Every structure is written in C-alpha cells, then in structure tokens.
C-alpha cells in the first residue's frame, strides 16, 4: 500500500513582540519649555533591561547609525555609575541599567538639549540624524524605556522594535478638553526616517490647525504637509494650544493620516492638558504623555482597556482606519458608535468601564488610546496606546526595571495591571525583585463581553520585594499577557504598556510520501494528516469539505483507508484566549492504480511534426511507438482547444472530442454521452 503523510507546519511571518526586540528606534520628543521652574520635564533617562540571564551587549548610536553618544550608565541594583564612550552597554536580566547622555565634561545633558528631547524651536524643522533620535541594537532581545520627569510632570514611552516601522499611520492621542493658561500645552507627532529619500505626508488635518514653524513666527498650516527625509532625520509637528479659549489646536491634528514611501517610526504625545473638575471649564492640570505607534497593518479589531485611577475623568479614544467602522462596547449586541470616514474618532466616556475593564470590538482595524490617571489627582494624567487582543503575544515581561522610580524620584502610587487569558493555568505570576506578589483580587476581574480574558492588579509601590525604592518586576503566564504600569507622586503621573502586537502563526499542510504529486486516498493507499506544533497551542478540529469530522480533535488525523472519495481537508486551531487559526486547504484524490503494459511487438508512429531545426533522432517519428502523430519541440507545447463549460458551449460534441475545461481546470473527453475529466483508472 502507498502511504501519504500530511504534515501541518507552523510558519511564523517574522513573529515580533512589541517592546521586546533586538533593535529599537527612539524619536526625538518636544514638550515645550524646559528647565527649572518651567512647565515640563527637568530630567530624563533611558532604562534598558533584557530577559537574557547572560550578559548582552547593546550598541547605542545616534539616529544616523554612526555617531556615538557619550553615556553615563547607572547599574540599578549595584548603585554604581560608569562612563561609556564607545556606545556599548553590557547588562543582563539581573543587572538592568539606567543611562543618561552626557557631554565631554561628563555633565548630563538637560532636556531640550539631548538626543531624546529637542527644543520647541526644532518643531516644524528637519532634525539632523546626528542631533536628535537614537538607535539601540544587539544580537539579543531587550527593552528600551524612556522616562522623563519633574516634580510636577512625568512620562514614559516604550519603543516597540521592528513592529514600530511602517508606511501607514494615524496620528493618535488625547485631545485637550478644557481651556488653559499654560502656553506650552500641545500635541506632537515625531517622525523618523530609516532610509534615504523618504517622502512623508501628513494629511487629513483640519483646515486652520497651526503648527510651530521653528523660530519663524508664521506657523505651518494646511490640510496636507509633505517633507522628504534622509536616513535618521526626523520631522516633528507640534500643535500648541491657544490659551484661555477652545480652538482647532485642541484636536485638529487628531486622526490625521501619516504616510511615507519608505519605513518610518512615529511617536505621538506631548504636554497633555487633561484633568479638570466636572463643574468648570478651565484647568491648568497637565502632565506629559507620549507613546510610540505601530502601522495600520499591526492593528486589530478587539481591545481590552484596563482603567487607571482617574475614575470618571478617564477617556478612551478610538480612531478609524477605514470608512464605515462600527464600534461595539462590552456585551452590547448593537454598535454604540459608527465612524463614517478614515481618521474619524470617538471619545468614549469612562461610564463604559465595568469593574475597571472595558471591551471594544470593531468591524475594521482601529487605533485605541487610553487617557489614564496615576492617581485620583487630576494632574497625573497620561495616555497609553493600547494593543489589540492577541493569543500570540508575549507570555512574559522580563523585566520592568526600577518600576517605582524615574531617576531618584519615587512614585508611591505605582501599580501594575495585567490582562491574561482566562483559566487557572493562566493566572499571572508576578514577582518584585524575586518576591512573589498576590493580586489585589485573587481570581482577577472578568472582562465584560469577552469571557476569554481577565485582568489582575498588583500594588507595586508597597510590594514586599526589593529595597524601599528599587522594584524590578517580572511577569509570566502560560498564555499571552498584556502588562500596564502606572504611577503617581503628588501631581506627577506616568504610564507604560509592556506587551502586545503579536503576530499569529500561519498553519500550512505539507504533503509527503505521496505516490503522485497530489495527495490521494483509497483502497490502494492510506493517508495520515499530522500536526507538528508547540505543545499547548490549543484545541484542534479537522474538517472534510467544510464539515467538522467527529472525533478529529487532536493534532493528528488519519483518513480511513476505505475513503476513496476526493475531498478537501483543513484544520482549525483555537489557542487559549479565543483566537482562531485556520490552516490552508488540501484536496485529496482517489489514488490511481497501475497495470502492466500489453506484451507484443509495438507499432511505429508514421506521422511526426517538429519545430526543431533537426530531428531529435535519426528515425523520428518511427522510433516513437504506438502513436498516430508524434510532436516535438524545444520550446513549444501542445495547446488544445480551451473552452469554458463545454457541456453548454459545444452544442454538437462528437464521441472522442477533447478540450481543456477552463472552469473545472482539467482535460475533458466526450464519450458520446457526457463530458468527463480524464483521470487515471484501472480498466
């Protein structure tokens, strides 16, 4: 008997996890005025950590990929500082570091003068690649976390590695909701090119919106703005508010489309003005917020938002990437919102949170941003760019270093929220400096409208692990997780999202050991469909011609040897978390059989047609046996009549007529009664 093996193989299309990667791009940020007594940050750092238990080397360069900054490297656990002049930083999972950029005199560069933050007058200009922006690269995976602070402000952004690169984005964030007297408040988009001659276009801007134009008093305006960037160069658009009044500056940029001819990285945010009292319209409560985006193709249509500590003041902003996008909230059956155009957005109120969870489902890919507060103080606002639900993201965040601090400033209201797949096996394991932590609610909190996920919350500020200030967090689970860290101290708050944007595997059926180039079944053969995947991927269901096969619920399925009918087979895999993976479809055929040829003297072929310059053999076509006509050519084939549906097209077929049916994609012959595809059989 012939034995046919079908192997299911998982192919991963560059399975990246946002935040954890071996290369990261940090765009230059602009927050307004800087310095002591100013409205924005006065100190800034970059935190590096890795899951690797062995030392790794990370090379730090400016955005041009060549210029090496001078660095002060602080070992978080040891409390020691070293000066690095070659751009190479060595650390491991147990030795995370905090770095600052310094000058030739080893003095730390202040915000607004460093590669991480540029002055307000840099907005609207093309920032040179050796001045603003940085690239971090290693042979191993690691995290890059920028944190900036001031006694009154704080903010954090995690770079997302290769996942951040693309050509299509939408400008997202949170709009200004109240009037203010603070002129530095505004929103920015920082765009970095990764290749020369990258044409960047920002369009769908509300007419009349004004952007800072360097030192020029005349602002940049227009519904579409285009710039050409070389490798490593950045362009920052910054929309400052107008004081004491509402204006287009508050949201005319929100939902603008950012496209490019080559890969770019985009970070949005700024000095946010978010908090207020419900009875008033004026507020000077503010804090910085910033996050790096991913391109449209990395988005999804299911999201869970975990609420912070801002109560009714928190907002969720959903931005459509396609026209006619519907948004369904929690367990609602009907959509709560419909966005008519790409770039349209809706501000979802906090009333949709249920037990501090909000579930969003859309019919098309969307961007989701969460205006979140570190504490009940309305000046502790920040925002987070929320990743879609996925069963194929990180199962661990290893690690978040010095989670309670930015520099020497301690944030006493720091907490961790973790979203995990439902099930006791998936309850997150959270440790702080090696000490296990219990969630505030033992079994977590259900997500309204999606029973496949639950959220868990942990008090990091008061965790028993670590020192009074150093809190290094590790999170793991049997399934995919998303981790959200928020903190606050007085009027300053920050937030950071540590996971998401995983890419689903592609399940493909390969055919091996078949007697023909196509898989076949029947009394002359047997077939085995075998799935080779990582244990614990999920449950399996095999289908024949679209109908579930009873009992075929494992990674292997054998077609019965008596089943000689042609059929289509595929498998559906359901991992924990409710995601579904569909394999390709393989069509089987009845295995052909073979009989020995008739014995005797063969007849020679008397007629031959050739396109060759000379005969292939001296006796052609006489040395071709048992033919009526022999054809030969070096570069041409025989093309018989091609007909769509000969049963209808040919009104008077004759016995023995042959055509190629372009509908059924086979060679057909008419036997005097009906047309049939020519298949090998045993006579």
Concatenating the DSSP letter of every residue in 467-529 gives: -SS---EEEE-SS-EEEEEEEEETTEEEEEE------PPEEEEEEES-SSSS-EEBTTEEEEE
For the cut 70, the answer to whether the pLDDT of residue 455 exceeds it is yes
Position 532 scores a pLDDT of: 44
**pTM, to two decimals:** 0.79
Three-state DSSP at 426 gives: helix
pLDDT bracket for residue 506 (50, 70, 90): low
At a CB cut-off of 8 Å and minimum separation 6, what does 442 contact?
A: none
Q: 461 near 414, Cβ under 8 Å?
A: yes
At a CB cut-off of 8 Å and minimum separation 6, what does 128 contact?
A: 64, 233
For the cut 90, the answer to whether the pLDDT of residue 26 exceeds it is yes
pLDDT bracket for residue 118 (50, 70, 90): very high
Position 446 scores a pLDDT of: 97
pLDDT bracket for residue 160 (50, 70, 90): very high
**What's the pLDDT tens digit per position in 181-221?**
888 889 999 999 999 999 999 999 999 999 999 999 999 99
What percent of the chain shows pLDDT beyond 90? Answer: 56
The values of phi and psi at residue 426, to 5°, are -100, 5
pLDDT bracket for residue 531 (50, 70, 90): very low
**Pick from 211, 190, 37, 193: nearest CA to 117:** 190
For the cut 60, the answer to whether the pLDDT of residue 514 exceeds it is no
257-264 average pLDDT score: 97
- The separation between CA 327 and the C-alpha centre of its own chain, rounded to angstroms, equals 20
Output the average pLDDT for the chain: 86
Pairing of strands 257-272, 186-193: antiparallel
**413, burial (CB in 10 Å: exposed 0-12, middle 13-18, buried 19+):** buried
* Cα distances (Å, whole numbers) of residue 547 to 361, 522, 540, 581: 28, 20, 14, 17
User: Where do we find the tokens 């999972």?
Assistant: 93
**Pick from 4, 10, 2: nearest CA to 571:** 10
148-156 average pLDDT score: 89
User: Where do we find the tokens 């019965």?
Assistant: 560
Position 402 scores a pLDDT of: 95
pLDDT bracket for residue 576 (50, 70, 90): low
474-488 average pLDDT score: 93
**603, burial (CB in 10 Å: exposed 0-12, middle 13-18, buried 19+):** exposed
Q: Which of 33-42, 327-336, 484-493, 511-520 comes out lowest in average pLDDT? A: 511-520
Q: 485 near 404, Cβ under 8 Å?
A: no
At a CB cut-off of 8 Å and minimum separation 6, what does 429 contact?
A: 436, 475, 476, 477
Pairwise CA distance, residues 278 & 301, whole Å: 32
pLDDT bracket for residue 16 (50, 70, 90): very low
Q: Which domains does the chain have, with CATH numbers?
A: 20-285 (no CATH), 510-590 (2.60.40.10), 607-677 (no CATH)
User: Where do we find the tokens 């020369």?
Assistant: 196
- The separation between CA 438 and the C-alpha centre of its own chain, rounded to angstroms, equals 30
**Pick from 485, 392, 399: nearest CA to 51:** 399
For the cut 80, the answer to whether the pLDDT of residue 285 exceeds it is no
Please give the sequence-ordered ranges of beta strands (E in DSSP) within 64-125, or none if there are none. 70-75, 80-84, 88-91, 97-102
The values of phi and psi at residue 161, to 5°, are 70, -150
CA dihedral defined by 488, 345, 450, 298, rounded to 10 degrees? -90
466-477 average pLDDT score: 93
Position 89 scores a pLDDT of: 98
The token duo for 476 is 């793991």
For the cut 70, the answer to whether the pLDDT of residue 621 exceeds it is yes
Q: 135 near 23, Cβ under 8 Å?
A: yes
**What's the pLDDT tens digit per position in 631-652?**
888 888 888 898 888 888 898 8
Q: 78 near 90, Cβ under 8 Å?
A: no
**What's the pLDDT tens digit per position in 583-611?**
767 777 766 665 666 777 788 888 888 88
What percent of the chain shows pLDDT beyond 70? Answer: 87
């Amino acid at each position: 008997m012939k034995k046919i093996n079908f192997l299911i193989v998982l192919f991963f299309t560059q399975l990246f996890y946002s935040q954890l990667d071996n290369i990261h791009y940090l765009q230059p940020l602009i927050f307004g005025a800087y310095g002591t007594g100013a409205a924005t940050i006065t100190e800034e750092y970059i935190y590096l950590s890795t899951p690797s238990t062995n030392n790794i080397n990370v090379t730090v360069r400016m955005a041009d990929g060549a210029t090496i900054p001078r660095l002060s490297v602080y070992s978080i656990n040891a409390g020691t500082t070293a000066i690095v002049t070659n751009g190479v930083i060595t650390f491991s999972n147990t030795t995370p570091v905090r770095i600052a950029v310094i000058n030739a005199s080893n003095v730390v560069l202040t915000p607004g003068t460093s590669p991480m933050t540029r002055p307000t007058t840099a907005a609207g200009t093309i920032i040179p690649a050796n001045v603003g922006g940085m690239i971090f690269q290693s042979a191993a995976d690691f995290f890059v976390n920028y944190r900036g602070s001031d006694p009154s402000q704080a903010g954090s952004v995690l770079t997302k590695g290769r996942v951040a690169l693309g050509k299509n984005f939408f400008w997202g964030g949170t709009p200004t909701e109240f009037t203010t007297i603070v002129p530095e408040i505004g929103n920015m988009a920082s765009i970095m090119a990764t290749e020369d001659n990258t044409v960047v276009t920002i369009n769908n801007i509300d007419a009349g919106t004004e952007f800072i134009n360097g030192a020029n008093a005349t602002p940049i305006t227009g519904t579409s703005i285009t710039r050409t960037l070389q490798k490593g160069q950045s362009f920052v658009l910054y929309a400052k508010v107008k004081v004491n009044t509402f204006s287009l500056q508050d949201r005319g940029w929100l939902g603008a489309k950012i496209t490019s001819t080559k890969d770019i990285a985009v970070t949005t945010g700024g000095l946010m003005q978010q908090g207020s009292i419900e009875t008033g319209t004026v507020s000077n409560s503010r804090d910085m917020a910033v996050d790096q985006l991913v391109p449209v193709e990395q988005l999804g249509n299911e999201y869970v938002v975990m609420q912070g500590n801002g109560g009714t003041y928190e907002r969720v902003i959903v931005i459509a990437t396609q026209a006619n996008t519907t948004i369904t909230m929690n367990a609602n059956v009907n959509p709560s919102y419909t966005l008519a155009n790409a770039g349209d957005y809706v501000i979802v109120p906090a009333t949709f949170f249920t037990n501090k969870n909000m579930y969003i489902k859309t019919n098309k890919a969307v961007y989701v941003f969460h205006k979140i507060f570190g504490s009940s103080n309305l000046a502790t606002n920040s925002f987070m760019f929320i990743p879609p639900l996925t069963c194929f993201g990180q199962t661990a965040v290893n690690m978040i270093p010095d989670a309670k601090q930015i520099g020497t400033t301690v944030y006493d209201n720091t907490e961790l929220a973790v979203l995990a797949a439902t099930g006791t096996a998936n309850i997150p394991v959270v440790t702080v400096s090696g000490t296990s932590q219990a969630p505030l609610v033992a079994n977590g909190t259900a997500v309204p409208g999606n029973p496949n996920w639950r959220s868990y919350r942990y008090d990091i500020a008061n965790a028993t692990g670590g020192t009074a200030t150093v809190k290094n967090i590790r999170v793991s689970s049997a399934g995919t997780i998303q981790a959200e860290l928020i903190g606050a101290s007085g009027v300053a708050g920050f937030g950071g999202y540590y996971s998401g944007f995983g890419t689903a595997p592609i399940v493909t059926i390969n055919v091996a050991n078949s007697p023909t180039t196509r898989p076949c079944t029947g009394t002359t053969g047997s077939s085995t469909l075998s799935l080779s995947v990582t244990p614990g991927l999920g449950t399996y269901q095999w289908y024949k011609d679209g109908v579930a096969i009873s009992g075929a619920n494992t990674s292997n399925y054998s077609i019965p040897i008596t089943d000689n009918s042609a059929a289509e087979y595929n498998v559906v895999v359901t991992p924990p978390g409710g995601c579904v993976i569909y394999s390709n479809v393989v069509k089987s055929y009845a295995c052909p059989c073979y009989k020995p040829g008739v014995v005797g003297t063969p007849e020679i072929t008397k007629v031959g047609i050739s396109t060759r310059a000379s005969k292939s053999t001296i006796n052609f076509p006489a040395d071709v046996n048992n033919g009526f006509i022999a054809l030969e050519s070096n570069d041409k084939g025989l093309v018989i009549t091609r007909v769509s549906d000969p049963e209808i097209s040919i009104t008077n077929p004759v016995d023995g007529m042959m055509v190629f049916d372009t509908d059924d994609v086979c060679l057909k012959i008419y036997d005097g009664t009906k047309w049939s595809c020519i298949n090998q059989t045993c006579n």
